[in-house]
Amino acid sequence: MDTNKITLAVMAAGMGSRFGGLKQIEPIGPNGEIIIDYSVYDAKKAGFDKIVFIIKKEIEKEFREMTGKHIEKMIDVDYAFQEIDKVPEGFHVPESRKKPWGTGHAILCARDRIKTPFAVINADDYYGSFAYQTMAEHLKSSSKEYAMVGFLLKNTLTENGTVARGICEAENGYLKTITERTKIQDSKYTEDGEHWVPLPEDSIASMNLWGFDTSIFHYLEEGFSQFCEEKGTEEKSEFFLPSVVDQLIQSGEKRVRVLSTPEKWYGVTYRQDMEMVKQAMIKLTEEGRYHGI
């Protein structure tokens, strides 16, 4: 494994059900840039050598036309396809299953395309240049430890609805626990839609910006097989990447370094978020951060 090279895996298979369309290719920059353009710009500047887009086969043509061709001029690009029928041998996908299997499955689908230490991001999240710099430094350090960039919870919320976040507890710079909270709003979360539990604004939130070496694929394969046995018949169950990481931490098999960032996250979870993100990108461009993007 070439530790001098590092890869960025971009999870872009979700169709954006809450947003209402293919939000990954919605223009948000002053010159028609999309969020992925900013991510690739920051990643390349930080030292990433290759981008692997994880998409649905059905959006390949549109995605390549709108995004891939442009980015292929900047950096080495490859594609992996997250499809519902990519499951363990002997497991039969329920006919009612329409939803992708989740973030853990997405990364597993890119196994044949990633041969170096790599970072994982969501296609529709803006993480800021500092996050890529600190992650690139970790991946190039030849460390066998996994890593996660942690944001302050207050820097990851939207005013337009609930969000899903991995709420983390760290100890001495390492991740101790991560709990997936799928409905957070105003620094409170709910599990039943009625009772809300406060969360500290400075809680560490995972935005799915992870750093791994290729050993993670072994754990994902094992975990997904177990998931299919236990929850594969549930119509909307998901195989979450953070859940696999949490299991590795609790078993003592892996340590995960928490890399913090002071920057604000921007993302388009809901269509109403679009204007705020556009204004933020205009401001960052005017400040000179994205000159020549």
Confidence of residue 16 (pLDDT cuts 50, 70, 90): very low
Note whether residue 291 is domain-resident: no
Note whether residue 292 is domain-resident: no
pLDDT at 25: 62
The mean predicted confidence, pLDDT, of the chain is 90
pLDDT at 65: 83
Amino acid at position 269, single letter: T
Note whether residue 229 is domain-resident: yes
Note whether residue 271 is domain-resident: yes
pLDDT, average across residues 114-132: 95
In the chain, how many domains are there?
Answer: 1
Is the pLDDT at 19 greater than 50, yes or no?
no
pLDDT digits (tens, 9 = 90+) for 70-107: 899 889 999 999 988 899 988 988 888 888 899 999 99
Note whether residue 33 is domain-resident: yes
pLDDT at 15: 47
Is the pLDDT at 20 greater than 70, yes or no?
no
Amino acid at position 257, single letter: R
pLDDT at 268: 79
One DSSP character per residue, the chain reads --TT--EEEEE-----TTTTS-GGG---STTS--HHHHHHHHHHHHT--EEEEEE-GGGHHHHIIIIIHHHHTTSEEEEEE--TT---TT----TT--S---HHHHHHTTGGG--S-EEEEETTEE--HHHHHHHHHHHTTT--SEEEEEEEGGGS--TTS-EEEEEEEEETTEEEEEEEEEEEETTEEESSSS-EEE--TT-EEEEEEEEE-TTHHHHHHHHHHHHHHHHTTSTT----HHHHHHHHHHHTS--EEEEE--SPPEE-SSGGGHHHHHHHHHHHHHTTTTTT-
pLDDT at 265: 93
pLDDT at 62: 82
Query: Which of 80-89, 136-145, 176-185, 211-220 has the highest mean predicted lDDT (pLDDT)?
Result: 211-220
pLDDT, average across residues 209-231: 96
Task: Output the domain CATH number for residue 72.
Answer: 3.90.550.10
Q: Which domain holds residue 146?
A: 7-286
Note whether residue 35 is domain-resident: yes
Q: Percent of the chain, pLDDT > 90?
A: 66
Note whether residue 98 is domain-resident: yes
pLDDT at 292: 72
Is the pLDDT at 18 greater than 50, yes or no?
no
pLDDT digits (tens, 9 = 90+) for 276-285: 999 999 999 9
pLDDT at 14: 67
Note whether residue 189 is domain-resident: yes
Is the pLDDT at 17 greater than 50, yes or no?
no
